[in-house]
Chain A
Amino acid sequence: MGAIPPGGERKGRNTESMAAAISITGLASQEAARDVRRALTIAIGGLPVRFWVPDAALSAMLAERYAPFLHGDGPRSPEIDFEISLAPPGWLPGPAELEVRWDSGLWRMGRGDFRAEFDLAARRGRITLFPNPYAVDALLRIVHSLLLARSGGVLLHAASGIRNGRGVTFSGVSGAGKTTLARLAPPGVLLLTDEVSYLRRDGEGFRVYGTPFSGELGLRGQDVSAPLGALYLIEHGAVNRIVPLTQPGAVRRLLRNTLFFAQDTDLVSGVFATLCELIERVPVCRLEFAPDARVWELAA
């Protein structure tokens, strides 16, 4: 890996300590030793990921985009430290469609606007990108899908909200009505996301967290969470009604809506186990809805 500071380094960072860290990697350079980078820690679902940003403008852009999820150095070490590099002139961009693969102990991925690689075990990674926040957004989704796969959670294509202290999640593929349901939310509902929901096992149940990942509504969630009271697999219908699902049927539908990018056997098995636990611990039903606000009274 490149010039990445050790994950344990947190406070009192200075040029000297950074130079020492870099020399350990064998990639020291005069330019890097000047250390103009800024650290930004973005914690989603309580899992912090730290970025070392080389550019003030990009740093400000990321700070604004992820404002509710920015964390200072806290007691918890980042799950991963990412070194950001700006794409140099003539840089070969990644493939047009997102590609993710596991190769020689590293996760490698790329898209038209970034290339990244990271080592989950060593908690280090690096990303080269054009200076826009979307590359970081894509990377965060991939990283969190992998972190969650081994810690009892999933990222779902779903809108979520909190009503009366209880989380409710509406899951569906594109066009199923996530944004519509988010728009129909009555006063008193705290919307967590209209696009990607973050679910983690919590004791005997599950918890739903806000995410910065927004859909059509452009809604960027807040860093709040609640126990998940119900999960609905949504589809448009003539009337509002809840339809029971068999457990295998629920798992099959949830699999369709799960964001997961890896082919790793253990991690895929982890996602399957989590979805099975989810349907065993949380009511999961099909929700047909007509586009009117009364659906919230039925569902939450």
Chain B
Amino acid sequence: MNPLYIARSPAVAARRLGDEMVIMSAVDSTLYTLSDVGAVLWQAADGRTPLAEIVRRHVCREFAVDQETALRDAEEFVRALAERGILLVSGEPINSSAAAEPAARAATAGPREETP
């Protein structure tokens, strides 16, 4: 299976508030809060590290879940974020100019959408 690469979209603003990672689409001002696993994926989305490697290195270790299950959930999650324009997803490494600069840190369920 081909590797998948993920990067943060430059069209969003993100901030950790308390224990939650909050992301706002600068296009339509929709606000999202990420689950713990979602936050881990978000913060590791540097455009260069394959998703499988991010899952192995961060998700499996921090959340005690097997690689196969975690990767399947993660792929579903990142595609959901990509549909909302929050993440860039590609079969190739993503150039940094197309993505936002890496953030500090960010895991199972998808985003909880909140419409302002």
Q: Please state if A263 and B18 are interface contacts (CB–CB under 8 Å).
A: no
Q: Please state if A268 and B116 are interface contacts (CB–CB under 8 Å).
A: no
Size of B's binding interface in residues, CB under 8 A: 17
27 contacts between A and B (CB under 8 A): A246-B18, A246-B20, A247-B17, A247-B18, A247-B22, A248-B22, A248-B33, A248-B114, A251-B17, A251-B31, A252-B31, A252-B116, A255-B29, A255-B31, A263-B26, A265-B11, A265-B26, A268-B24, A268-B26, A268-B29, A272-B24, A273-B15, A276-B15, A276-B17, A276-B22, A279-B17, A280-B17
Complex Cα spacing A209 to B10, Å: 33
Total number of residue pairs linking A and B with CB closer than 8 Å: 53
Known contacts A272-B15, A276-B17, A265 near B27 by CB under 8 Å: yes
Q: Please state if A263 and B114 are interface contacts (CB–CB under 8 Å).
A: no
Q: Assess whether B60 is interfacial by the CB under 8 Å rule.
A: no
Complex Cα spacing A17 to B33, Å: 56
A residues contacting B by CB (< 8 A) are: 246-248, 251-252, 255-256, 260, 263-266, 268-269, 272-273, 276, 279-280
Interface-central residue, A263, A268, A280, by most chain B CB under 10 Å: A268
Q: Assess whether B99 is interfacial by the CB under 8 Å rule.
A: no
* A279 cross-chain contacts in B, Cβ below 8 A: 17
Q: Assess whether B4 is interfacial by the CB under 8 Å rule.
A: no
Q: Assess whether B82 is interfacial by the CB under 8 Å rule.
A: no
Q: Please state if A263 and B17 are interface contacts (CB–CB under 8 Å).
A: no
Complex Cα spacing A266 to B12, Å: 9
Tell me the chain B residues, 69-116 only, with Cβ under 8 Å from chain A: 114, 116
Name which residue of chain A comes closest to B116, CB basis. Answer: A255
User: Could you say which of A246, A256, A265 contacts B10, with CB atoms under 8 Å apart?
Assistant: A265
Q: Please state if A269 and B20 are interface contacts (CB–CB under 8 Å).
A: no
Closest-CB distance, B87 to chain A (whole angstroms): 16
* B27 cross-chain contacts in A, Cβ below 8 A: 263, 265, 268
Complex Cα spacing A252 to B17, Å: 12
* B18 cross-chain contacts in A, Cβ below 8 A: 246-248
Tell me the chain B residues, 4-19 only, with Cβ under 8 Å from chain A: 10-13, 15, 17-18
- In addition to A246-B20, A264-B26, A272-B26, 15 A-B residue pairs with Cβ atoms within 8 Å of each other are A246-B18, A247-B17, A251-B17, A252-B116, A255-B116, A260-B29, A265-B11, A265-B26, A268-B29, A269-B12, A272-B15, A273-B13, A276-B17, A276-B22, A280-B17
